[in-house]
Amino acid sequence: MPKIPQIIVIDDPLTAEQHNDLGVAYEEKGDFALAGKEYEKAIKKNRDWVIPYLNLGHLYYRQDKLDQAERALREGLRVKGDHPDLLNNLAWILMEKGQLKDAKALIDKAIAIEDKEEYQDTRREILERMKEK
């Protein structure tokens, strides 16, 4: 009897939200490599949803990969340029990289959109570092 070829369809049944949640779970366990892969999958599934960009940026920051964190957050801002959490986090990254003027402009924009205590904390830290220079 002749063998019938099998056709395998590989389809990812998980949603962007589910991939993001898996990324969070892996990150909490300290498995940064798997967390990053899940955040990337979430972004591919829904490029217009900013949360995986935020999470990916945070993951890179935790690993002291500031350039990669900056890149992830900037990609998120291309999706939604007025998202205050993205602006805040990017401001922090730029501050850490010594780009204080750019960091201040971003945090001021975030605060103009939504005045949250954590944004004010970021602004205070930036201003403190500007004084030190």
Burial of 70-92, coded b for 16+ CB within 10 Å and e otherwise, reads: bbbbebbbeeeeebbbbbbbbbb
Domains along the chain with CATH numbers: 14-80 (1.25.40.10), 82-133 (1.25.40)
Q: Whole-angstrom Cα distance, residue 51 to residue 43?
A: 9
Question: pTM for the full model?
Answer: 0.89
Tell me the pLDDT of the chain (133 aa) as tens digits: 566 666 665 778 899 999 999 999 999 999 999 999 999 999 999 999 999 999 999 999 999 999 999 999 999 999 999 999 999 999 999 999 999 999 999 999 999 999 999 999 999 999 999 998 7
